[in-house]
Chains A and B, each alone.
Chain A
Amino acid sequence: AQSVTQLDSQVPVFEEAPVELRCNYSSSVSVYLFWYVQYPNQGLQLLLKYLSGSTLVKGINGFEAEFNKSQTSFHLRKPSVHISDTAEYFCAGDSSASKIIFGSGTRLSIRP
């Protein structure tokens, strides 16, 4: 079955600390991968995407993600988080049927 798995439902971190949000995808999902962010009471917006080329992808707000084919992972990282990064983050993959499949989400909470 096609799937995208986010291993952590919640990640609490202190402000200015680094963070990694984990995402694994099944091999049946294409290697077009995305991270979206949802701020409270808003829709989703794209953080970054991997289509091909360099395995390290840089996105908005200082986030980056690394595509790892051997581990079927696409983890999201930021070296130093801010209170404003408090949000829910979704990993997603593009299926062969032009559908975008989402993970269950990771809620990032930032402690001052």
Chain B
Amino acid sequence: DVKVTQSSRYLVKRTGEKVFLECVQDMDHENMFWYRQDPGLGLRLIYFSYDVKMKEKGDIPEGYSVSREKKERFSLILESASTNQTSMYLCASSLNPRATEAFFGQGTRLTVV
């Protein structure tokens, strides 16, 4: 059974903290994605990676960075958390080439206070 696992379901962090969100997939997928989900805005792509050590900015990369040192793991980093980064964060993975199904983790609900 395919699986994308996000390390935390719920997180509460303070403004200014450095925050790490971890995602692991066990399907040997090349592509991995980080989205944030906000009511009325759907899913917005933050960053994606199509190979180890490769990354591409999505639509809203400001305030975030990513790391992909191993194929199965894709980390999202909030360099200095702010209250406007309170959101649901979803990780996904997919095979190359294009047009293949993306598999999602359960999501991490991050609250920055």
Q: Residues of A with Cβ closer than 8 Å to B?
A: 6, 9, 30, 32, 34, 36, 41-46, 49, 51, 90, 94, 97-105
- With both beta carbons as reference points, the residue of chain B lying nearest to A103 in the complex is identified as B42
Contacts of B41 in A (CB 8 A): 104
A56 to chain B, nearest CB (A): 18
Q: Identify which of A32, A42, A105 contacts B42 (C-beta below 8 A).
A: A105
Told that A30-B99, A90-B43, A99-B58 touch, could you supply 10 new A-B pairs with CB distance under 8 A? Answer: A30-B98, A44-B102, A90-B42, A98-B31, A99-B45, A99-B48, A100-B33, A101-B45, A102-B42, A103-B42
Complex Cα–Cα for A97 and B98 (A): 8
Is B101 touching A32 in the complex (CB atoms < 8 A)?
Answer: no
Q: How far is the CA of A104 from the CA of B50 in the complex (A)?
A: 24
Contact-residue size bin, chain B (C-beta under 8 Å from the other chain): 20 to 34
Interface SS of chain B: strand
Question: Known: A98-B31, A98-B96, A99-B45. Is A9-B104 also a contact (CB below 8 A)?
Answer: no
Indicate which residue in B35, B40, B50, B92 contacts A98 across the interface (CB closer than 8 Å): B50
A6 to B107, CA, bound (A): 22
The residues of B that contact A51 with a CB separation of less than 8 Å are 99
Q: Would you mind naming 25 contact pairs between A and B with Cβ atoms under 8 Å apart? A: A30-B98, A32-B99, A41-B106, A42-B106, A42-B107, A43-B4, A43-B90, A43-B106, A43-B107, A44-B43, A45-B104, A46-B102, A49-B101, A51-B99, A94-B98, A94-B99, A98-B96, A98-B98, A100-B102, A102-B35, A102-B42, A104-B40, A104-B41, A104-B42, A105-B40
Given A98-B98, A99-B58, A43–B42 Cβ distance below 8 Å? no
